[in-house]
């Protein structure tokens, strides 16, 4: 489970995340939505301990991520698929991450197979398309077999087959009882993938609901989303 309590982050005079409180429960895919500058990526970074909150806290299974002894076994995340050493192969990259987290080589082979990269495992990351890098990042997130997973725009760069694949993967992970939080700008995809939705704007929570409830009146998810966020504005690059 992921929980934020009055989570706040400021950059100078800009409040990127403003007293944000929500809970992401296991067993379903939760979409994390909001305009550019709404604070989605900043929130994810604070959950992972990459950014220090100015107020409040973020907890993973009741603990701060930085206090978890074996974090890769608790939470797996993909925030930037391009953060790779270009000369290192996909397999070598995963083996290095696995070794740093006390994970055996057999698990590397398992996750490469699950994301469909076994045939490309020996190729250098510089030869990977963006879609392949996304798959490798997802494989890295899965290495520790964590119960909590967090993905920032995971369908970027994927072709239609890849988008369909990740839709099924996310649903399967949730069906296994995991907590799955996914940020996206693709409303059509969220309508097909997510069950619950967290919508934020200007760093504040706008809605904590389900796809079914938001579209119950016959409104499309896209139209409902724009109605909810129409007064939100960009923060000059803060995500």
Domain harbouring 220, CATH code = 3.40.50.300
Average pLDDT over residues 16-28: 97
Could you tell me if residue 49 is inside a domain?
Answer: yes
| Distance from the first to the final alpha carbon of the chain | 23
CB 46 within 8 A of CB 58: yes
What is the predicted pLDDT for the residue at 235?
Answer: 43
**What is the per-residue pLDDT for 237?**
43
Q: How many domains does the chain have?
A: 1
The chain-wide mean pLDDT, for the chain, equals 93
Does residue 107 fall inside a structural domain? no
Q: What is the pLDDT of residue 188?
A: 86
Q: What is the pLDDT of residues 60-107, one digit of tens each?
A: 999 999 999 999 999 999 999 988 888 999 999 999 999 999 999 999
pLDDT band at 157; cut points 50, 70, 90: confident
Mean pLDDT of 140-153: 97
Tokens of 22: 């929500």
**pLDDT band (50, 70, 90) for residue 156:** confident
What is the rounded average pLDDT of the residues 200-220?
Answer: 93
**Taking Cα atoms as reference points, which of 38, 29, 101 lies closest to residue 72?**
101
What would the two tokens of residue 86 be? 């270009």
Lowest mean pLDDT among 3-12, 147-156, 183-192, 200-209: 183-192
Q: Does a structural domain hold residue 93? A: no
Tokens of 65: 């991520």
167 located within any domain: yes
According to the model, what pLDDT value does residue 186 have?
A: 85
Domain assignment of residue 223, given as a range:
2-84+147-229
Residue 185 lies in a domain: yes
Q: Is the pLDDT of residue 133 over 80?
A: yes
pTM of the prediction?
Answer: 0.93
Residue corresponding to tokens 């982050």: 9
């Amino acid at each position: 489970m992921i929980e934020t309590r009055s989570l706040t982050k400021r950059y100078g005079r800009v409040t990127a995340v403003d007293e944000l409180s929500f809970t992401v429960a296991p067993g379903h895919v939760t979409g994390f939505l909001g305009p550019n500058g709404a604070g989605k990526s900043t929130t994810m970074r604070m959950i992972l301990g990459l950014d220090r909150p100015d107020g409040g806290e973020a907890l993973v299974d009741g603990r701060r991520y930085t206090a978890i002894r074996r974090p890769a076994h608790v939470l797996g995340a993909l925030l930037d698929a391009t953060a790779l050493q270009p000369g290192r192969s996909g397999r070598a990259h995963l083996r290095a991450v696995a070794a740093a987290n006390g994970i055996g080589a057999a698990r590397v082979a398992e996750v490469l197979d699950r994301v469909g990269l076994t045939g490309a495992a020996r190729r250098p990351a510089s030869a990977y398309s963006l879609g392949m890098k996304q798959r490798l990042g997802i494989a890295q997130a899965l290495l520790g077999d964590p119960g909590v997973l967090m993905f920032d725009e995971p369908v970027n760069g994927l072709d239609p087959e890849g988008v369909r694949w990740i839709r099924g993967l996310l649903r399967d992970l949730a069906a296994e009882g995991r907590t799955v939080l996914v940020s996206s700008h693709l409303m059509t995809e969220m309508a097909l993938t997510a069950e619950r939705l967290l919508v934020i704007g200007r760093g504040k929570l706008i809605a904590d609901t389900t796809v079914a409830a938001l579209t119950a009146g016959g409104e499309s998810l896209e139209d409902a989303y724009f109605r909810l966020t129409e007064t939100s504005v960009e923060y000059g690059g803060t995500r």
